[in-house]
Structure 1
Amino acid sequence: MLRETIRVTFCALLLCAGAFSLFGQDLDNVAISGRLTDPNGLAIAGATVTVTETATQATRTATTNDDGRYAFLNLRPGTYKVTAVAPGFGVQERKEFPTLSGERFQVDFKMKLADVRAEATVTTSGDDGPVIDTTRTIVGGTITEREIEEIPNFSRNPLDLVLTLGGTSEEQLSTSGLAEDSNENPRTAPLEQGNFSLSGGVAYSNNITIDGLDNNDDRSSRDRFQPSLESIVEVQVISNQFSAEYGRASGGRINLRTRAGSNRYRGRAFMFYRDSKFNANSWYNNSRGLPRMPLTQYDPGFTFSGPIRLPFYNGRKRTFFSVAYEWDNLLDTTFINTWVPVGSNPRFPLPASNTSCPSGLTCTDGLSSTTTPILPYQVYYDTPNVNHILTARVDHRFSKTNDLTVGYQLGRRRNRRTTGASTTRLDDALQSRNADTDAINFTHNYVFGPKAVNQFRAQWSIFKPSYQTDDPLAPVVLIAYRNPETLSSQTLIAGNSTSSITGDATAFPQNRRERRWQFQDSMTYVWGRNLLKFGGDVQTVNSKALGLGDATGTYNFGNIADFQNNVLNRFRQNFGTRADAKNTYWSLFLNDEIQVASKATLSLGLRYERETAVKDSNNFGPRVGLAWNPFKSGKGVLRFGAGIFYNRVLLRTVADSIQNIGAGRIAFDTTTIGTAATDTRRVAILAAIANAFPTTYPSIDALRQVVIQACATVVNPPAPCNSNTGFSEGNVSSAGNPLRSVEAGLRIPESYQFNVGFERDLGKGFVFETNFTWNKTAHLWRDTNSNEPRLPAGYADWTAYLLANQFVLSPTRRYVFFLGDRSDTSGLHISSPTGATPCTTTTAICYVNLNTTNTSTTTPAVAVTGVNTNATGGPVGIAKAAIAQFRPDPTVQETSLIGSRGNAQYRGLVIELRRRYRQLGKGWGMSGRFVYTLSSTRDDGLNNTANAEVNGDFSREWARSLQDRRHRIGVSGIVQTPWWFGKVRLSPLFRWGSSAPFNIGNGGSDRNLNDSSTDRMVFSGNLKDIKWRRPGSPVPDALISQFSLATIGAISGNLPRNAGRGPSFFTFDLSVTREWKLRERMRLRPVLEVNNILNAAVFNFGAAFIDFNGLTLTDSTARSRFLVPTRTYRQRQMRFGIRFDF
């Protein structure tokens, strides 16, 4: 009701607005306005004002109105000069001044009589110009071209520069910038965690654009394309966008502006180089006595721009081009260390051994029933990470009022890097993370006259990320063997691989294709004393994803002899793993800015957004902003802003549930046929499939036909053998959750933002700015189990129910529950609760201790011929079986239901002191930025599919967010030194953040029986004692003794979410450059970039789980690792580079 009242009131204000003059806000372009007066301060009407962009010499002309005012709208960012000419007065000119996206400049002229002075000029240097914009109502910051080139950037990703600004933070579970340790495969954050957070918005709620057009991956909530750092001239960050022009973000907006051409040919050749021999070793590698991980990276490229001049066409001052290309080649190798048969299977050739049998070994397969020779196969295989990046644009000026920009983006990435010491995969089964993308965009600007400017944009893009082998549709061949050297059982992987990497959220085998069309139009119109901006945006997204997990047919051979004899022991294939999603987004907006007084600007806007992937249509977003300059000098401004903002639909979450209901995901697995390998049905079907090895079945019907033919040969089968044998409908590995659905009233997440700020020009280029932001995000998507067992009336929890009711599994077996010793590691007892012998499948009465530390979820079962075998079960599995009858649908277990239940809140104070680059004299020059952020971020879930510990009760989850660091400091700058210091340019980047929280789980054990793995512990101590520990520090035995597992069936533990206090964050990087001017237009700039210059050991939990899993006094290893971070930030690393500008 409150939200509706706000919207109605705001719409009424918007309709009433219009009695005063204004100058409109534009986030992507520049506006210049001003007033001409005579020596007595009277307005000069009919004067001619010309604005000229110095790079292209493009000009626009305006005539002053009766009040002596002029305005230029929708100018592209660049360097401009303004010239004023009036009859009877001398010519005046404002010399070149730089502009950035979204800036508005007030350039007034006090004209002088011609007989006093024929011509007068007002000059400023290239780095001067208005320091603050007293009419700006939005809140954010801009990273300039100079900063982009000079500030240390470990990843060379322009988006990482966002974190140098105030009010920003990394995403939850971030692993960005962490060290790579040898022989480790650490967990990564889920893809939908996003990139970073702006003003406390959830990290997957930002809108990333390039030249104003969409650059988002709507499935993973990350960016689609990463342009070369050398092609970017500006990173604009809008943390609170109180203009209605842009949407699809309940967080903020980041726009990357690419380099445009000019009237002069300009180019740059560059090369950057890294090698591990210049780097320190990681802290954990040093502690384990391991050498540095090998690393060699080459990063060459070029940029070139200028006018298009052909034998038949001279585009000077009219047509310009700009192109940038970068080739990033990170070298790596993978050690393939496996064993191959000496014999062969003619149906599937394997490479021959390249190494003789090691001395003293008998090189035969210990798993084969007959003597079967095998020999080593060892080779170093190149597995680099190669990235090709190309951006190009052409700008054409049809006339002073009509121009067009055409842009193109290309990205090709092949990342085959691995982190393990070695692998048993052959080269054709090595997977790579690939990403191909192309985009073509158009921007057309048309000036209808002094009162109207229209901008039309369009874009087509395609994005094809994948995690797959070179031939992703080939069958997978798995051959088991016993390594004669280590005597361990291993698997030779050949042909293909469709398995995911445990803990790596980016390595789920799939390929997908996302096509996008976008059309955007905005009109700026002067109406009386109002300047209105209105328009719309339409995007169509067609996202197709194919889960590859076992989708191409997986053949298992139990040993080397079976492979050579073509005897299968398992075959599985998944069908219907495609998850396609279509979404059409459209929006309309209206924004009006009113100069309600000579020093106060009021902005009122309204935006409506609609996405067809969900049914939520109540998405009106009112916006209001106020900028007031209370100072006579015009060097200070107070800002106020508020608005409602909407996120975009995350297609990965809704694809299975909305787009593919009833699509029929079917899994076939021969291990589900009968209870033993000797089952005659299984034997016959495997033999029939082996006869077609290595065929991949294109459809369910093709495989069913093979099954039907095999069943016809089975005599007296132990159970029915028909077209359904081996098939099951339900969850399919690596292909999503087909039992996921969404609530009928699912809403798009929205945020309510409020900001009040103050900005002051302190003189000499220094600016002080402070902003307080309150950001409440509501209707965040969360996951609940709609098929959770319903507790019968009269019981406080499932523990009470189990204690009061025995579980009768069969006439010969029943289970009695009791509360016993919490150190009981078995939990299953014969004869009595104190019985020393564990239960077996023949136990008539089994006593189950609900306080046991045994977390086994094995389901108890009674043997049914041809269907299943006997199973005693584990304590948790027995308890779940006892209450399964109370599920709404007892035939299935968990069913995921996505609903709009989540909330997040941010309160932050940002204090910033910055200085634009200026020459200080005597060879010194400096720019700098100091930001301090005091903030609090709280939420009730990790991401859009988070589960609560108590199913559906997210109010109990409300806690500090994992990204919440109460204090953050960032310092960046550029210092130019004089000749006696070598004329080097020093660019430091210092970032520090206080402690962040972490969550402690119980190891994923579902002890409260609600099918989720979010259970927490029972803790009897002081929460302030739960702190991270340095490796090697004394084991906190007293603290560990205060933890215990919750009783099976209890509602929850008592430990709050994110109760631990983790390490602080610190990094100090430095870039050193020196410029040599070879000729007038030729400059050479070598670069040395040193990351973590102090080589400090900064610990971090990364995306790892921090679990207390029944630690005991005898488990010394687990106890020593409890609360110890497993990752550190990158060690000291160096990058050498050179830029040659011409």
Structure 2
Amino acid sequence: MRHAVKKSMRIVAGLVLLASTSLLSSSLHAQELRGKITGRVMDPNGAAVAGATVKVTDVARSTTTTFTTNADGLFDALYLLPGTYQVVVEASGFKKSLQDKVQVEINQTRHLDISLDVGTPQETVTITAEAAQLNVSDANLGQTIDRKRVDELPSIHGDPYTLMGLSPGVTYTGSSRLDRPFEPTHIAGFAMNGVRGIRSDLLIDGAPSTATANANEVIASYVPPTDITQEFKVQTTTYDAQFGNTEGGVTSIAIKSGTNQLHGTAYYWIEPGGWAANDFFGNSRGQARPFTFSNRPGFSVSGPVIIPKLYNGKNKTFFLFSYEGIRDSRPRFDANNVWVPTAALASGDFSAYVSKVKIYDPLTGTFNATTGAITNRTPFTNNIIPANRIGAVAKAVLPFFGSPKGGPAAGFLVNGNIFDSTLAEKTRRYDNFTIKIDHNFTEKDRFFWRYSWYNRDSSYNNYTGT
């Protein structure tokens, strides 16, 4: 029997246009995963400095947004991509203040208390910001898995969701044998703070990235390669009202965006055939080791959009493109409650099961039209069907059932006699593509578009050998 699985996902996530109107800004905030910098500007005595000019610069893209503090000395810089920022504050009668290396994580509110020294704007006080040690902006509990950890920590088959397990209160409940990016029922099978597994929400770039499989299961509809994952945040308890489509936690992933510098990565992960140990179930049944292998090539490239002699997108338009493929073969056999006829059963010999079942001659018996019962049936001698009573069609079909690979499972007559640990699931084709465009129209109007697609074609449970 040949079982083929093909799955294609086309996800268009993005098309987020930041307009200056409060109505549109409010609607976009409903699933906003970018960060923000808030702050209060004060004089040496702690009094608010109103009318100060605040410039927030994205260091990687050289884009600057300008703000003015209000009567209370407050400012808000919203919709910031995760990364490093520089904050410059100028006010008449005070030295210029430069807050350098301000790190903003996914969905983080970074608060700065900026104290200005008396002097002239020609003088500059530079302060290197330290990482925020405590979240004081909201009641969320969770952990941010930053780019450094995504890069340096091992992830099975390049699946970033495996790093969810680093967060306190998170436990994996899925199958350890189904761990590839195209097995979404299991890769996101984490239980958070006591909630059952596969009941957590998943977001990519602020858009839901979930689907449903079995009853009451929330699964991942798309898994980005680790090479294009900027960072992600696992929220386990008391997350904002903008989240909470399920009773579990929320995992939010931010896909990388291009910068002013051209960047690229390339990799080829390989598991040579024959290096893997035998499957546990194969050892227990004395069956041979299956042939397994795994090949996972991939690359990514990002930078400014530059069309020679036509367009220079530095500081303005950026792109990201990535590809990842998987070709592998690994043990898999999960056909439950199935069996194939033994040689005796195929020839019509049921004598070994006479105490469990009796085979009657279908051409005998009396039918009662009132009750629908058949009586006075004649059993075959010794529970054996004569060879001349087995039809030609049945004889032609029987070879396609295959032969038993072993004895029945414990407690069964024949069930499980085809279990074969040497059978493998073969992924003939898995391709994963992502393209992302970011564009800055003005200081306050920005846009991004992302298209992600994957295709899977595999075969498994081929226990008949057909």
Bin the TM-score by the shorter chain. 0.5 to 0.7
Aligned mate of 1:121, from 117, 126, 135: 126
Answering whether residue 22 of structure 2 is matched by residue 28 of structure 1, we say no
RMSD: 3.7
Give the structure, 1 or 2, with the largest relative contact order (CA under 8 Å, sep 6 or more): 2
Corresponding position of 1:111: 116
Distance 1:151 1:88, change over 3 A: same
Corresponding position of 2:315: 317
Corresponding position of 2:412: none
Instruction: List 4+ stretches of structure 1 deviating above 6 A.
Output: 189-194, 368-372, 374-377
* CA deviation string 1:1012-1062 (max 9, x = no partner): xxxxxxxxxxxxxxxxxxxxxxxxxxxxxxxxxxxxxxxxxxxxxxxxxxx
Output aligned runs, 1:382-393, within 5 Å. 383-393=426-436
Give the letter aligned to residue 441 of structure 2.
Answer: F
* CA deviation string 1:985-1031 (max 9, x = no partner): xxxxxxxxxxxxxxxxxxxxxxxxxxxxxxxxxxxxxxxxxxxxxxx
Aligned mate of 1:409, from 452, 458, 461: 452
Give the letter aligned to residue 314 of structure 1.
Answer: N
CA–CA distance in structure 1, aligned partners of residues 151 and 199 of structure 2? 28
Corresponding position of 1:965: none
Answering whether residue 95 of structure 2 is matched by residue 90 of structure 1, we say yes
CA–CA distance in structure 1, aligned partners of residues 111 and 55 of structure 2? 14
Secondary structure of 2:138's aligned partner: coil
Secondary structure of 2:156's aligned partner: coil
CA–CA distance in structure 1, aligned partners of residues 184 and 48 of structure 2? 61
Q: By how many angstroms is 1:367 displaced?
A: 5.7
Q: By how many angstroms is 1:369 displaced?
A: 6.4
Output aligned runs, 1:60-75, within 5 Å. 60-75=65-80
Give the letter aligned to residue 167 of structure 2.
Answer: L
Aligned mate of 2:464, from 423, 426, 432: 423
Corresponding position of 1:664: none
Answering whether residue 265 of structure 2 is matched by residue 236 of structure 1, we say no
Answering whether residue 80 of structure 2 is matched by residue 37 of structure 1, we say no
Distance 1:266 1:25, change over 3 A: same
Output aligned runs, 1:222-261, within 5 Å. 222-261=219-258
Unaligned runs of 5+ in 2: 1-28, 333-339, 341-387, 403-422
Secondary structure of 1:137's aligned partner: coil
Aligned mate of 2:208, from 205, 214, 222: 214
Identity over aligned pairs, percent: 26
Q: By how many angstroms is 1:368 displaced?
A: 6.4
Give the letter aligned to residue 464 of structure 2.
Answer: T
Output aligned runs, 1:449-488, within 5 Å. none
Aligned mate of 1:150, from 149, 152, 159: 152
Distance 1:111 1:417, change over 3 A: same
Q: By how many angstroms is 1:241 displaced?
A: 4.0
CA–CA distance in structure 2, aligned partners of residues 209 and 375 of structure 1? 49
CA–CA distance in structure 1, aligned partners of residues 390 and 427 of structure 2? 35
CA–CA distance in structure 2, aligned partners of residues 78 and 190 of structure 1? 29
- Contact 2:178–2:186 (CA under 8 A) maintained in structure 1: no
Give the letter aligned to residue 156 of structure 1.
Answer: G
Which of structures 1 and 2 has the bigger CA Rg?
Answer: 1
* CA deviation string 1:47-84 (max 9, x = no partner): 11111111111111111122222221222222111111
CA–CA distance in structure 2, aligned partners of residues 262 and 84 of structure 1? 25
Secondary structure of 1:149's aligned partner: helix
* CA deviation string 1:316-353 (max 9, x = no partner): 1110011111011114699xxx9xxxxxxxxxxxxxxx
- Contact 1:333–1:384 (CA under 8 A) maintained in structure 2: no
Corresponding position of 1:395: 438
Secondary structure of 2:455's aligned partner: strand
- Contact 1:26–1:74 (CA under 8 A) maintained in structure 2: no
Unaligned runs of 5+ in 1: 1-23, 180-188, 339-364, 426-1142
Q: By how many angstroms is 1:122 displaced?
A: 0.8
Q: By how many angstroms is 1:94 displaced?
A: 0.9
- Contact 1:193–1:203 (CA under 8 A) maintained in structure 2: no
Corresponding position of 2:4: none
CA–CA distance in structure 2, aligned partners of residues 119 and 192 of structure 1? 54
Q: By how many angstroms is 1:101 displaced?
A: 1.3
Aligned mate of 1:55, from 60, 78, 90: 60
Distance 1:304 1:59, change over 3 A: same
Answering whether residue 345 of structure 2 is matched by residue 302 of structure 1, we say no
Distance 1:114 1:381, change over 3 A: closer
Distance 1:333 1:162, change over 3 A: closer
Distance 1:384 1:135, change over 3 A: closer
Aligned mate of 1:330, from 307, 328, 332: 328
Distance 1:191 1:100, change over 3 A: closer
Corresponding position of 2:420: none
Output aligned runs, 1:579-728, within 5 Å. none
Give the letter aligned to residue 64 of structure 1.
Answer: T
Distance 1:294 1:109, change over 3 A: same
Secondary structure of 1:277's aligned partner: coil
CA–CA distance in structure 1, aligned partners of residues 444 and 121 of structure 2? 35
Q: By how many angstroms is 1:366 displaced?
A: 11
TM-score by length of 1: 0.29
Secondary structure of 1:40's aligned partner: coil
Distance 1:59 1:298, change over 3 A: same
Secondary structure of 2:135's aligned partner: coil
* CA deviation string 1:380-436 (max 9, x = no partner): 999434211111110010000100101101010112134x6x5242xxxxxxxxxxx
Give the letter aligned to residue 106 of structure 1.
Answer: H
Give the letter aligned to residue 423 of structure 1.
Answer: T
CA–CA distance in structure 2, aligned partners of residues 131 and 100 of structure 1? 12
TM-score by length of 2: 0.68
- Contact 1:325–1:389 (CA under 8 A) maintained in structure 2: yes
- Contact 1:105–1:130 (CA under 8 A) maintained in structure 2: yes
CA–CA distance in structure 1, aligned partners of residues 459 and 42 of structure 2? 67
Deviates more, 1:247-256 or 1:262-271: 247-256
- Contact 1:263–1:320 (CA under 8 A) maintained in structure 2: yes
- Contact 1:36–1:44 (CA under 8 A) maintained in structure 2: yes
Output aligned runs, 1:434-445, within 5 Å. none
- Contact 1:392–1:409 (CA under 8 A) maintained in structure 2: yes
Output aligned runs, 1:707-786, within 5 Å. none
Answering whether residue 163 of structure 2 is matched by residue 161 of structure 1, we say yes
CA–CA distance in structure 2, aligned partners of residues 129 and 375 of structure 1? 68
Q: By how many angstroms is 1:267 displaced?
A: 0.6
Distance 1:317 1:190, change over 3 A: closer
* CA deviation string 1:28-57 (max 9, x = no partner): 121212222223333222111111111111
- Contact 1:228–1:390 (CA under 8 A) maintained in structure 2: no
Corresponding position of 2:133: 131
CA–CA distance in structure 1, aligned partners of residues 279 and 306 of structure 2? 52
CA–CA distance in structure 2, aligned partners of residues 191 and 129 of structure 1? 36
Give the letter aligned to residue 407 of structure 1.
Answer: R
- Contact 1:46–1:64 (CA under 8 A) maintained in structure 2: yes
Secondary structure of 2:98's aligned partner: strand
Secondary structure of 1:197's aligned partner: strand
Give the letter aligned to residue 152 of structure 1.
Answer: P
Distance 1:26 1:410, change over 3 A: closer
Distance 1:92 1:397, change over 3 A: same
Q: By how many angstroms is 1:115 displaced?
A: 5.8
* CA deviation string 1:205-246 (max 9, x = no partner): 322111111111135421111222222121211112442112
Distance 1:193 1:287, change over 3 A: closer
Distance 1:331 1:226, change over 3 A: same
CA–CA distance in structure 2, aligned partners of residues 323 and 191 of structure 1? 26
